[in-house]
A and B are shown apart, each in its own frame.
Chain A
Amino acid sequence: METIMVDPFWTRLGLIVGAASTLAMFSFLWKENAVYRFFEHVFVGLGMGYTVAVTWTDVLKPHWWDKRIWVGAADELLAREEMGLWDPALWRGTGEILPLWGFLGIVGMFWYFQLSQRRAWLSRIVIGILMGSGAGLIFRRIYGLFFTQDGQVTKSFLPLLLPADSANVVRQWDLTLGALTACLILIYGVFHLRRVRQGIELPKRIEITTTASLCLGLALGTFLLSRGLVIAWNNGLIVLTLICVLCYFLFWEGGRRNRLSIGAATLGRWLLMISFGATFGSTVMARFSLLINRAQYLLEQCLNLS
């Protein structure tokens, strides 16, 4: 690729125009004004003009005009002339390239009938084709993104406990089941402890079972947690957020509600707010980045200050 040497005059002019445009856009901070409005329209016009030009040079000209219409047709005619087959009637019968691709170009142009109120229905043909193909593709895309082996929904079902060597799937499940057992034993122990505290007399063997289950549950739980606490925290947070946010959308209003569902829904609402807050923080960062970029341009490139 040839290196294009730009005349310093044009470089300087470019910098001046860039600086003027930047300052004109920032003049909106003072108040809405004609200069700002002018440069806003210039920006939109430039974007649209560039899009039209690059669509022609990069897409339509090389792939449609050069290959299918102009050169394609010329090559076809040349070949026929060499073979002594140049005959318009024959061309109509066998030369399929030009009419087919030309027809597609005409159909594509129907898009612009949107500008006519009477003939707008013609533009719907093109829009319908694009929407139909888009809808067909989107079904596959949604399934692939959410429900396949790597899908986001599939990957939301996470084990709450993971051993240090998390590649070992069998051990992960062993430990997850172990953790569930530990929880059940603990719940049993706590349930009976409450009854003892309430003064309800229980047989001796129940008391022994209660103490033993509490100790066993705590020991097993501590052992399992010590094997995979770090990863379990992240997975647990994801699963908790998933369930609570679902509860928020399902149980926040109406329907059957109890203290558990209301509590989960409230927590879900807070978790959503935290997530929106993080997104908003990123948005603020993005906006500042735009300002920083313009400051860099004005200070470094235009004024050569740093």
Chain B
Amino acid sequence: MKPNQPRWIYMAVALSVTLPFLAKIKMTMPISEPVQKAFDVVEKLAEENEGRERKKLALLVADWEPATMAEIHPQVLALIHHFMSRQIPFAILGFRPTGPGLAQDLAHSAAREWNAEYGVAWCNWGYKTQMDTTIQAMLTSFHTVIREDTQGTPIQDLPMMVGFKDMGDIGLVAEFTGSSGLLQPWVEFVHAELRTPILHGCTGVMESPVYPMLSSGQIQGFMGGLSGAAQYEQLVGKLGKGSEGMAAQSLAHLLVLGLILAANLKEFAAWAAKGTLWKR
């Protein structure tokens, strides 16, 4: 095998990714403004709910797929832990077929830790199609769209849904997705009409288009990629897969930077040897 074959690079990357796990390194991150804002929005909802007989719900919109769960799962799990620790009831809803099932697995695992009961602390409204029209229908006649949970229980029979009238009883929408175009309907229909705070979690690839939405006040906080998850885990005080992953992520990034530098130096050296370095 020649030394410049990509397989050496793959091997180096594999080592850089696995070594931090074997060494059990967990990395702490500086908290960025968008993640802090996301945390503050949840805290604000918890404070609003204190002393209220009928608590406002958080809506966890699960619009991700297995291909993006590597980044989204740590974010969602950290948020669910936050909801449960602050006793904010939440409902899962999804416009991607796989989303609600994946979110339900996470909710189950967190519920075991917090001894949270289904129907009291959380519930699953399942998968719905046609996002724009469904959201608009939820705004005008909620109970015709959301009638029962995934188990077939009528939602008014769930203790957390007793007295729930309309979308005004939702205090926060948290949309998690790895696809584009799924955040906008919530902003346009729910935030614009009811001023419901919107929180967003996305993959690293999707981060850039979200910043203008944050600075214009269309969303109130967001976490991007594994780094966002690690920061949120820190804020919640429950380090998980995000914080574990960031050590590997950082080492892999250092490796990539080193490789870029080495490749450039090699090229410069080749030009210098030919005497063409200053002629370019």
Contact = CB atoms under 8 A, between A and B. Distances in A.
A286 B205 contact: yes
A238 B184 CA distance: 22
Contacts of A30: 7
Contacts of A292: 17, 70, 226, 245, 248-249, 252
A151 B215 CA distance: 10
A284 B256 contact: yes
Contact of A285 (B66, B101, B108, B226): B226
Contacts of A51: 97-98
Nearest to A238: B215
Contacts of A282: 204-205, 207-208, 224-225
A279 B185 CA distance: 23
Contacts of B24: 306
Given A152-B218, A295-B17, A296-B245, A289 B98 contact: no
Q: Among B67, B70, B147, B148, find the residue whose CB has the most chain A CB atoms closer than 10 A.
A: B70
For chain B, which range describes its interface: under 10, 10 to 19, 20 to 34, or 35 or more residues?
35 or more
A220 B263 CA distance: 51
Interface in A237-267: 238
A285 B225 contact: yes
A133 B137 CA distance: 14
A209 interface: no
B129 A59 contact: yes
Interface in B180-202: 184-185, 187-188, 191-192
B119 interface: yes
A148 interface: yes
B276 interface: no
Interface string B205-220: 1011000110111100
Nearest to A52: B97
Contacts of A174: none
A97 to B, nearest CB: 15
A283 interface: yes
Contact of B150 (A29, A58, A289): A58
Nearest to A141: B188
Contacts of A279: 205, 207-208
Given A47-B98, A55-B97, A296-B241, A152 B213 contact: yes
A145 interface: yes
Contacts of A144: 187-188, 192
Interface in A31-54: 47, 50-51, 54
Interface in A196-251: 238
A285 B208 CA distance: 13
Contact of A54 (B97, B188, B215, B225): B97
Given A54-B97, A289-B249, A1 B151 contact: yes
B236 interface: no
B216 A155 contact: yes
A306 B22 CA distance: 6
B47 to A, nearest CB: 22
A55 B94 CA distance: 12
B188 A155 contact: no
Interface in A4-38: 29-30
7 contacts: A47-B66, A58-B128, A150-B191, A284-B253, A288-B252, A289-B225, A292-B245
Given A150-B192, A282-B208, 15 more contacts: A1-B119, A58-B97, A58-B126, A148-B192, A151-B216, A283-B204, A285-B253, A286-B203, A286-B225, A288-B248, A289-B203, A290-B67, A291-B252, A293-B73, A299-B22
